[in-house]
Structure 1
């Protein structure tokens, strides 16, 4: 059974159809990179996988959960599926440790001691052990994004979703965050990431999906897809966007 199954998904905003029959299967431990021009449906697909957007038709199953409209089921889904956005969304009045401990304590009802142990562990995973008692405004953008990743990891997710997590960062800070994602990939985390970092997608993703006009235009092993693009649309995209 795939860890993520997307079957003929359609999604419209008003009269605009953003996803036009998308189907995708992601096995445990796979890393899928979603690339494509702005407006191609990448981020919308990610938000549908986590139930943040309701699909019009089709089927999505993630980590054994059918993604639907039931609030109770969505809460269960989100304990197994983490999502990290371009904006860090950290609570400014809480320390780094408190930001990370919050969801496990509220959602999973773990003890303060257990939440603290987990927070220390995931901060170590993203290379920020010394920042437990710091406040978000004392951190660089790259450090804040790494805390946001640690916060998701503290929920022990089975699948992680990343939506352009480096697009607001300068190159040096981008590298910090990409290194964390690469470590997660090596450790077997199932990941889907929307990214404009073509070199990273080619190097780290097991599979790359090129989305165009709300459809999966090309899909394949990353090295193959970047090395031998089949369609003029992907050829042009790589030529204009590769870094």
Structure 2
């Protein structure tokens, strides 16, 4: 297996607040890696570093062949073609249809013809079960539908890696199930995924690797069942007991 993400001794501070304190982690092609941990442990910042949304202070990150620790050499546009990211807030454009939300980046960034972009939009909307909503506007969607459109929009760019940052935390249980089903389908199709999540049952069932972050570090890492049933540190034991 080849590493699609390689992180070595990553450090990141905001002012005097050290958020990432020597993180090292590899993600292999086709893996689903789930990152868990308390609020403030550095999980979301780590994801944002992976697609260049946050500049790192020191360390090495290679994502899809891009050296992120050399901002002068980094082509952010190329990186973001290969790395999709979906946030807790859907970030859809409210004034255009679902279809246009998806085709916009295809026609502007990839310079694709409108007809071809619409064909891709149809395909990805079918994938997330929303082909009937292509003419709808974001305000006409439920939270679960809006999040699935956000996922479809990322998938339309044909990324090599998908990042998910607490994408279900604003949704009620039924809508959460809709979104997790899409992520499960993507995993079965071999999409490489890194997700920050508080959905412990989902992480345990589907992740290939579980990463527990604490105080800006990778505290424990390994097969989900092993970490859940036999945590090696008091911190993870306490976290698991509070979440399950």
TM-score (norm 2): 0.97
Match of 1:40 in 2: 41
Which of 188, 192, 195 aligns to 1:190? It is 192
- How far, CA to CA, are the matches of 1:223 and 1:152 in structure 2? 30
Cα contact 2:67–2:74 (8 A) shared by 1: no
Mark the CA change 1:108 to 1:6 in structure 2 (over 3 Å): closer, same or farther: same
Structure 1 partner of 2:27: 26
What is aligned with 2:61? 60
Distance (Å, rounded) in 2 between the aligned partners of 1:159 and 1:144:
21
Residue 104 of structure 1: how far off its partner (Å): 1.0
Q: Distance in 1 between matches of 2:136 and 2:74?
A: 34
Secondary structure in 2 aligned to 1:101? helix
Using the alignment, how far apart are the partners of 1:223 and 1:161 within structure 2?
A: 22
Aligned to 2:102: 100
Distance in 2 (CA, whole Å) between partners of 1:224 and 1:127 is 34
- SS of equivalent to 1:3: strand
2:145 is the counterpart of 1:160: no
* CA offset digits 1:78-134 (Å, max 9, x no partner): 000000000001011100000000011111111101100000000011010101111
3-state secondary structure, aligned to 1:216: strand
Change (3 A) 1:71 1:120: farther
Q: How many residues align?
A: 242
Q: Give the equivalent residue in structure 2 for 1:142.
A: 144
Distance 1:72 1:238 in 2: 38
- In the alignment, the residues of structure 2 paired with residue 71 and residue 44 of structure 1 have an alpha-carbon distance, to the nearest angstrom, of 22
- 1:127 and 2:125 correspond: no
Distance 1:7 1:156, change over 3 A: same
**2:88 aligned to 60, 83, 86, which one?**
86
Query: Which residue in the other structure is 1:75 paired with?
Result: 77
1:2-17 pair list within 5 angstroms: 2-17=3-18
Q: For residue 229 of structure 2, what is the aligned residue in structure 1?
A: 227
TM (norm. structure 1) is 0.98
Question: Over the residues paired in the alignment, what is the CA RMSD in angstroms?
Answer: 0.9
Report what 2:218 is aligned to. Answer: 216
Q: Tell me the secondary structure at the aligned position of residue 188 of structure 1.
A: coil
